[in-house]
Amino acid sequence: MRDNADLEEDKRAEFAGILVEESESLTTQVRQLFHFIGEGGLGPDSAAEWPREEVSDALQAANNYFDEIEGWAEALRAETDRSGEPASPPTLSRLSRLPGASEGGRGEAAGSLPEESRIFALLKTICLTRHGAGLDDLVAAAPLSSIAAAQLYRGALASYFAGAVMMPYESFRHAARSCLHDLEVLQHSFAVSYEQACHRLATLQRPGAEGVPFHLLRSDVAGNIDKRFSTSGLGLPTYGGVCPLWNLHGAFLQPGRIVPQFVELPHGARYFLIARTVTKAKPSHFAPERVFSVGIGCDVSFAGQLVYAAGIDLTTAQPVPVGTACRQCPREDCRHRAFPAAVNFARPEEGLGDRQVPVAVLSQPTG
């Protein structure tokens, strides 16, 4: 304060308060930046501003598995199944006779949906009606900071219930292993869509009866990620899109086809990915078409359990060098980079191997 000795005492105190406040704000922003760079999800100070991302983080914290909801789903299957076959798909006619079942809420658009989507929506309604108190408890126990996030999380849990009813845990896990996770086989066996089957594969994490640990991403044609969770160990980007080299984007060039990909991250971890486009039903001719790319993937050590890796020698095949997102990627020589990294990545000191470490120098735009 020597340079401001000419200020009156109250002005000096005000000036000092401003300095402290601005310093604290800058410290918070720097923490959030490095939390973002480290792929740790949302920090507590910004979570309330991003309810969808906060819900994704809450699902991630639960490993995307909810034993209580699995129990609700098994009880409903026992109530409705009259075929004697554990994997017999539920039907609209059987479900619609249950207390609390209603296909309302979608208006005229409900009739344009495929049957598996109508069943899914009906099961969500049943969950919300029958298990409201249980959902309240699960929402209250989740690390959520806003009403918007709580509402989204509640809907996500109801969707989890719907998937668990349509694809019973043990039946689905056994079928997935038997067919080497052939998604077309699973779709036909359980009367579900490609996206529904992918979602269910990413929830098979019951302790002692785990399936292959998958991650799941869904992107629109603009590269916006609106669904993400990972049990594969792959850190998924929280903001914006993913690396342009991922097959999640390339799938749009081959609509309706499953596109496999073998990739390597900058730190050396390798993953096997598959992606495919899905087109949502249009309620009318004048409605714009909605197309997404849905991708799942696992650590390459599990690739031998996937039909899509058949015939590929992953010990000699050359993986595609990818990152998670440009802002978080240290690959300086990448020809596909859209943006500079959020920080400059420096080579570590000798003895730390080939890992890249960020240094606290913000990258400047190049033009």
Below-70 pLDDT ranges, the chain? 1-7, 11-13, 15-17, 19-49, 82-88, 99-111, 238-241, 344-367
Strands of the 290-299 sheet, one edge to the other: 225-230, 215-220, 290-299, 270-280, 259-264, 320-321
How many angstroms separate the CA atoms of 54 and 66, rounded?
A: 17
* pLDDT of amino acid 82: 61
Q: Which amino acid is at 181?
A: H
Burial class (CB in 10 A: 0-12, 13-18, 19+), 202: buried
pTM for this prediction: 0.79
Residues 6+ apart with CB under 8 A from 234: 215, 265, 269, 271, 297, 299, 324
* pLDDT of amino acid 87: 52
* Tokens (6 digits) for 88: 């017999």
Buried b (16+ CB within 10 A) or exposed e, 55-70: bbbbbbebbbbbeebb
* pLDDT of amino acid 24: 57
* pLDDT of amino acid 52: 86
How many angstroms separate the CA atoms of 150 and 281, rounded?
A: 28
For 296-346, how does the pLDDT look when each residue is reduced to its tens digit (9 = 90+)? Answer: 999 999 999 999 999 999 999 999 999 988 888 888 889 998 888 877 665
* pLDDT of amino acid 230: 87
* pLDDT of amino acid 42: 46
* pLDDT of amino acid 16: 66
How distant is the alpha carbon of residue 237 from its chain centre? Answer: 10
Buried b (16+ CB within 10 A) or exposed e, 179-192: eebbbebbbebbbb
* pLDDT of amino acid 219: 94
* pLDDT of amino acid 134: 97
Place of tokens 């570590």: 348
* pLDDT of amino acid 351: 42
* pLDDT of amino acid 158: 97
